[in-house]
Structure 1
Amino acid sequence: MASRIPTLDITRFDTDREAFVAELGAAYREWGFAGICNHGIPQAKIDAAYDVFKAFFALPEETKKRYHVPGGGGARGYTPFGVETAKDSKHFDLKEFWHIGREIPDDSKYREVMPPNLWPEEVPGFREHGYGLYQALDQLGSRVLSALALHIGLPENYFADKTDSGNSILRPIHYPPITADDIPNVRAGAHEDINLITLLVGASAAGLEVKSKQGEWVPFTSDADTIVVNIGDMLQRLTNHVYPSTTHRVVNPPGEEARKPRYSVPFFLHPNPDFLIDVLPSTITADNPSRYPEPITAQGYLEERLREIKLK
């Protein structure tokens, strides 16, 4: 079943561009999801980041909570277990996480909405390896967006100056072992992502499921060297639903597997805060009239959605 969601070799963007762009665009039109292999991010870089993230989550609860920013909407630092709740869900997700954002100068016009990062002093190398992975995924995401721009008839560099100061987030997540069998909560309730695209690197266990257009849940466990990239709501809105933001979830594993922790690290690629999300003319047709006559800024949209998932 998992093979139904395609995995594509991104080196073909340089060697076989037209075919790659067509295949990638088709995958996203159908699934809103694709695997990307041969992405060029060394496994050692990914492993080093995972090691520091695991070291942080292993710290005592009171130490971790020192890095929680009350009223900050989880924008930077630590968000404890039992806070985030999928939209329309009665039960909170079974996870705790950390947010790394873009490093920008204090005199940046975006400083007010993009606070400085926090770095846990108890974990040596956290900043170096965490931000190193942030930058690598930011560059890979830009390549994916270049291919998607070409697929919908835009210049290859269309997104470059619209995401170069994007409020993008790297989110190391820890799903602790599940010790009871009859809980109503799941590791991550059914949801869609808020941003342009999400890049998910090295989920350490099965559990990700994607909802097909026919309404069935399709497990998508990728190979170790594959990064899963999916469409978020901002890109769905910008492209007038040409690229769907597909519902997905992380289910609790059966039996003994549930007693093991799960780690994953998604990178949520956002546009610059003042980017106006306005339906692209090239995506409006007689069959697909504009669904969003009113544009909205990326920051306005983000804040609206954070309230829905109880982070604000």
Structure 2
Amino acid sequence: MPEPRSGRIPTVDLRPWLTGDAEDRRAVAGTVDRALQNAGFLLVTGHGVEASLRARLRAAARTFFLLPAEVKQRYAARVGGRGWLGPGTEANGYAEGTATPPDLKESLTFATEEPFDDPKVNAEWYAPNVWPEEVPELRPLCREYLDRMARLEHRLLTLLGEALGVGRDFFTRHMSHPTYGFNINWYPGVEVVGEPEPGQFRIGPHTDFGTVTILDRQAGKGGLQVFTDEDGWTDAPYDPDAFTINIGDLMARWTGDRWRSGRHRVLPPPAEEPAEELMSLVYFGECTPGTLVESVPAPVGRVAYEPVDSHVYLRQKLDAITVG
């Protein structure tokens, strides 16, 4: 197995997990368990998602982000909704109690299109996606990407069940009708966002809220940093062929804090490269609404949290970061 890199964040090749023997799978599961106990992050290769799909999706999204603000405003959405989140909409640091100026980004956000059988839940979490008519290619690209992400998430959650020692279906059985979300985050340079205020980030320090996040990112000086107790804030390791994986608060609660909810931030445009532009594709895995998240007992779990309804918890977090 590869040695851990950059603050003990390892790169894990999924192929031995998917096609190897029992010893190979145990080795992968052990590496994942150790990584998530430390920083809550790892990189994965061998995932089978082509770089060309990611490149085409970025190009289509950039076409949208470069449209005039008055055009993008037609697709404006609230945090947790479907559509365009414009400048000044979010301050992610508030989710952890860190007061920051609004995040220096714009986002397009989409989610599952399969309706739920409860009308109230359906209205809250399964609103129709809003597809910009100015960029028609965005819709089929997003649908293809989300289909690939859902399959990858299922494989990862099966691996996480094995790594935790609770059975491969421990998490996946709660994902029969998930409210997964997908953000395309655009981080333009200072000519678009202006000079950063003190303490302002492209995304402020926070942990994600749900189960598992699958991130396709670009390297940059104003890029992703992760936090560990041993090393503090450090630049995240980068591999253009890898997805960055981190777990969120609900998964940390589920494991009784055996695994760390990965704290991270995205730095502002760097003074030495003020025109730097980055784009991230962020898939947020979630449970089926109404899932009761209960901490696994000791000796696997280390903290016994009060059980929470997954989507009551998620809504509280989304409301906390809403500033626009």
TM-score, structure 2 normalization: 0.88
- Which residue in the other structure is 2:232 paired with? 216
1:164 and 1:49 mapped to 2: Cα distance? 27
- Which residue in the other structure is 1:183 paired with? 197
AA in 2 matched with 1:105: P
8 Å CA contact retained: 2:9, 2:237? no
Residues 247-286 of structure 1 mapped to structure 2, 5 A cutoff? 247-281=263-297
8 Å CA contact retained: 1:252, 1:258? no
AA in 2 matched with 1:216: G
Distance 1:204 1:65, change over 3 A: farther
Cα displacement string for residues 146-181 of structure 1 (whole angstroms, at most 9, x for unaligned residues): 111012222212222312311111100111212455
3-state SS in 2 of match to 1:218: strand
AA in 1 matched with 2:49: I
- Which residue in the other structure is 2:122 paired with? 111
AA in 2 matched with 1:118: V
Cα displacement string for residues 62-113 of structure 1 (whole angstroms, at most 9, x for unaligned residues): 11110113xx434211111111012122311001101110011375664222
- Which residue in the other structure is 1:76 paired with? 82
2:87 and 2:195 mapped to 1: Cα distance? 18
Residues 87-98 of structure 1 mapped to structure 2, 5 A cutoff? 87=94, 88-98=98-108
- Which residue in the other structure is 2:209 paired with? 194
AA in 2 matched with 1:141: E
Deviation at 1:29, TM superposition (A): 1.0
Unaligned stretches of 5+ residues in structure 2: none
Deviation at 1:25, TM superposition (A): 1.1
Percent identical residues: 29
8 Å CA contact retained: 2:219, 2:238? no
Which of 55, 65, 72 is residue 57 of structure 1 equivalent to? Answer: 65
Deviation at 1:283, TM superposition (A): 5.5
- Which residue in the other structure is 1:139 paired with? 151
Deviation at 1:57, TM superposition (A): 0.7
- Which residue in the other structure is 1:11 paired with? 15
TM-score, structure 1 normalization: 0.92
AA in 2 matched with 1:6: P
Which of 19, 23, 35 is residue 27 of structure 1 equivalent to? Answer: 35
1:35 and 1:49 mapped to 2: Cα distance? 21
3-state SS in 1 of match to 2:169: coil
Matched, 1:153 2:161: no
Distance 1:243 1:93, change over 3 A: same
Deviation at 1:215, TM superposition (A): 5.2
Q: CA RMSD in A?
A: 2.0
